[in-house]
Amino acid sequence: MTDMTLTIRRPDDWHVHFRDGAMLKAVAPHTAVQFGRAIVMPNLVPPVTTVKAASDYRERILAAVGEGVSFQPLMTCYLTDQAEADEIALGFEQGVFSAVKFYPAGATTNSDSGVTDIKKVYPVLERMQEIGMPLLVHGEVTDPTTDIFDREALYIERVLKPILNDFPTLKVVMEHITTKDAVDFVRSQADSGRLGATITPHHLVINRTDIFKGGINPHLYCLPIAKREVHRLALREAATSGEAQFFLGTDTAPHARHAKESGCGCAGIFSAMTALEIYTQVFDDEGALDKLEAFASLNGPAFYGMAPNEETVTLKRTDWSPQEFVTTEDGDPVRVFGSGETLAWKLV
């Protein structure tokens, strides 16, 4: 393989799960190595719904990352049926909240406190529209009669389109998109500049068949679940297109090995250690290394109204194999996405 390096502005991760306690301490430093900023998801137990809770959580994240590391956690507010517009607006004004996260109740890990009826939070969305605060949506319906592979496409029709129609200047990010339906819809709104989408590394490299190769692989189980190959290919084309509405969001979501390999395994893939390398490989495979900086480092800040990072990172084309697990101080191993494989790019 030809020796090659690639230098880009330091990227940001616009969708991260850090958890808390021992897990936070184990995983947060790995995101801080790769990324300058990260949008931190608020689905703790209890969820992050107040300015104080977000401020306290941010301090725990910074303590876990350690001194001397240039990293900024961007906090989000968990949207509930009882959300208070004044509290959310205060957090945004004070620079504590960067966005609000909308989980349909029961959609994913620790989402039981999520919104049960979108109409209940319309006053909050109205306030957010007035102050220019982004709404981040987990784009799946949770109707138990709906096939899990159809939940994203139906969400667009039943929930997202009405939100965009009823709040014509509200900025929205459709998180971790997994389907061609989502790619096409986001593109249909490109002229408005108010609908963005994050794309994960795992949805770029696995499809739903991979979950069942050689038996059920619980470490590839995530929500939204990986879809058919046609959808994976659509995501790769969108991510590598350079189009401004698509940007990097790993959705790195750590769970201890015993919680994944259980009778009722948890959804989530821990990619913080390998995300940038896997993204780079995808862009290399697609002949689009010249578009990586836009996707990883420029499009996200532009959508959020922030300046891109001034620092740079360098990746080298070289074969290497990631470690299999990260272990918390409690002794819980967390499987690293990409372990057991040979990756072709490494952050240096």
Predicted pLDDT at 1: 39
Paired tokens of 93: 């004004």
C-alpha closest to that of 114 among 163, 79, 158: 79
What proportion of the chain, given as a percentage, has pLDDT over 70? 99
pLDDT in tens, 27-76: 999 999 999 999 999 999 999 999 999 999 999 999 999 999 999 999 99
Does residue 284 carry a pLDDT above 50? yes
Contact 200, 337 (CB under 8 A): no
Does residue 118 carry a pLDDT above 60? yes
Paired tokens of 50: 């107040």
Say if strands 333-335 and 172-174 run parallel, antiparallel, or are unpaired: unpaired
Does residue 107 carry a pLDDT above 90? no
Residue range 253-281: average pLDDT? 97
Residue range 112-121: average pLDDT? 89
Structural domains of the chain ordered from first start: 5-347 (3.20.20.140)
Q: Pick the residue with more confidence: 114 or 38?
A: 38
Predicted pLDDT at 123: 97
Contact 135, 172 (CB under 8 A): yes
Phi–psi pair at 119, nearest 5 degrees: -65, -25
Q: Which one is catalytic: 13, 251, 284, 332?
A: 251
Rg of the chain (C-alpha set): 19
Residue with tokens 């015993």: 258
Predicted pLDDT at 174: 98
Average pLDDT, the chain: 96
Calpha distance 15→330 (Å, rounded): 25
Contacts of 341 (CB under 8 A, 6+ apart): 321, 322
Residue range 167-183: average pLDDT? 98
Say if strands 312-320 and 343-347 run parallel, antiparallel, or are unpaired: antiparallel
Residue range 124-144: average pLDDT? 96
Predicted pLDDT at 105: 81
The model carries a pTM of 0.97
Q: Quick one: DSSP state of residue 104?
A: B
H/E stretch holding 8 reads strand 5-9
Predicted pLDDT at 81: 93
Predicted pLDDT at 104: 87
What confidence tier does 106 reach under pLDDT thresholds 50, 70, 90?
A: confident
- Any bridge partners for residue 38, and if so which? 13, 73
pLDDT in tens, 196-236: 999 999 999 999 999 999 999 999 999 999 999 999 999 99
112 labelled catalytic = no
